[in-house]
Amino acid sequence: MTPPKNIRLFKDEKVVEFEWDETLIKKIRFFDLRNLCPCATCINEFTGKKMLDPSTIPEDIFPKEMGFSGNYALKFHWSDGHHTGIYTWDHLKKVCVAAL
C-alpha cells in the first residue's frame, strides 16, 4: 500500500489534507477523521459494527499529535484523549475516495 505523497494539517480549517496523486487531493475534517477511527473501541473487530457514537465527539476536536505508525499508517492523539486508532493508508485512501 502506497502512502500519500503529502499530508498537511490545517489547524484553522480543522482539516487534514491528503495528497495521493494529482487527481486525488482531499481535505478531511478532524471531526470526520476522529469519527472514522478504526480501533477496536470504535469498531467491533469481529462484527465490524461501529461502537462509537458520533454525538460523544467534541465538535472542536483536533489532533494534539499526528505521527507515523511504521510505514503503513498514521496515528493521532486526539484532543478528547483518544489515541488508539491506527489509520492505515488503505483506510485513509478509502475515506478520501468516499469523500469525493
Q: Could you list the residues that contact Zn ion (CB under 5 A)?
A: 37, 39, 41-42, 85
Smallest distance from the beta carbon of 12 to Zn ion, in angstroms? 25
Report in angstroms how near the CB of residue 88 gets to Zn ion at its nearest. 13
In this complex, which beta carbon is closest to Zn ion, that of residue 24 or of residue 39?
A: 39
Helices and strands of the chain, counted as H and E runs: 2, 6
Dist. CA 100–CA 27, nearest whole Å: 10
Q: Which of 20, 30 has the CB closer to Zn ion?
A: 30
In angstroms, the CA 98 to CA 92 distance is 10
Q: How far is the CB of 6 from Zn ion (least distance, A)?
A: 25
* Phi, psi for 39 (deg, rounded to 5): -75, 170
